[in-house]
């Protein structure tokens, strides 16, 4: 299972860079467009449309790496005060519900993709982008997230079955403030 998780982590990290690169490129495009409008009173056109696609696609492709890094925002005011067994149940329930929600989004996204394919839908801008292209790339990012989430759930349950509660918490539990500080210290030491 660790080999599968390593491969998924590598793909997720690549997806994170891909998504971040798209968002960076869209910011550059919008900056250029704003400059051209201000200085030369012309516009590239379609920058806002491309930025919208980049934001949706970039977010979808970043979800898997964020899940592996346990960086999704959680409200954990009471969480740390609860007994370990209840935290385990909450961690598993949270992971299952999160992945389940995105599985529903993916399922409905497939319906939208199918409709775009059937009707040869295009954007209503000057670019007339075939909508199947950004929709398919977005759905691939969601599929990666769901795959990583299912694999993470299986790995967590396997650790729980072995009695490794700490290992399970390390996979899917909320990071404590001490964990975050220790990670920052390690990152600073690597930079030296």
**Predicted pLDDT at 107:** 98
**Predicted pLDDT at 119:** 96
More confident residue, 180 or 114: 114
What is the Cα gyration radius of the chain? 20
Please compute the mean of the pLDDT values over residues 95-100 and round it to a whole number: 96
Is residue 73 very low, low, confident or very high in pLDDT (cuts 50, 70, 90)? confident
Express each pLDDT in 123-173 by its tens digit.
988 889 999 999 999 999 999 999 999 999 999 999 999 999 988 988 898
CA pair distance 29, 46, nearest whole angstrom = 10
Whether the predicted pLDDT of 76 surpasses 80:
no
CA pair distance 86, 131, nearest whole angstrom = 44
Whether the predicted pLDDT of 100 surpasses 90:
yes
Whether the predicted pLDDT of 179 surpasses 80:
no
CA pair distance 160, 170, nearest whole angstrom = 11
**Closest to 29 measured CA to CA, from 56, 42, 48:** 48
CA 167 → CA 70, 118, 127, 159, distances in Å? 13, 47, 50, 6
**Predicted pLDDT at 68:** 93
pTM of the complete model: 0.88
The answer to whether the beta carbons of residues 152 and 71 sit under 8 Å apart is no
Whether the predicted pLDDT of 65 surpasses 90:
yes
**Predicted pLDDT at 77:** 75
Whether the predicted pLDDT of 185 surpasses 80:
yes
Average model confidence (pLDDT) for the chain?
A: 91
């Amino acid at each position: 299972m660790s080999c599968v998780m390593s491969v998924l982590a590598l793909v997720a990290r690549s997806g994170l860079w891909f998504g971040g690169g798209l968002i960076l490129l869209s910011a550059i495009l919008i900056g250029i467009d704003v400059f051209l409008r201000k200085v030369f009173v012309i516009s590239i056109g379609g920058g806002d449309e491309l930025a919208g696609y980049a934001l949706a696609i970039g977010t979808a492709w970043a979800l898997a790496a964020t899940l592996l890094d346990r960086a999704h925002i959680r409200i954990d005011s009471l969480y740390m005060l609860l007994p370990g067994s209840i935290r385990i149940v909450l961690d598993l329930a949270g992971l299952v519900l999160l992945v389940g929600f995105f599985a529903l989004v993916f399922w409905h996204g497939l319906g939208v993709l199918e409709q775009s394919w059937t009707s040869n839908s295009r954007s209503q801008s000057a670019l007339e982008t075939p909508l199947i292209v950004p929709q398919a790339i977005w759905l691939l990012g969601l599929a990666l997230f769901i795959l990583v989430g299912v694999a993470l759930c299986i790995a967590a349950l396997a650790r729980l079955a072995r009695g490794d509660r700490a290992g399970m918490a390390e996979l899917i539990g909320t990071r404590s403030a001490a964990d975050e500080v220790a990670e920052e210290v390690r990152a600073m030491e690597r930079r030296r």
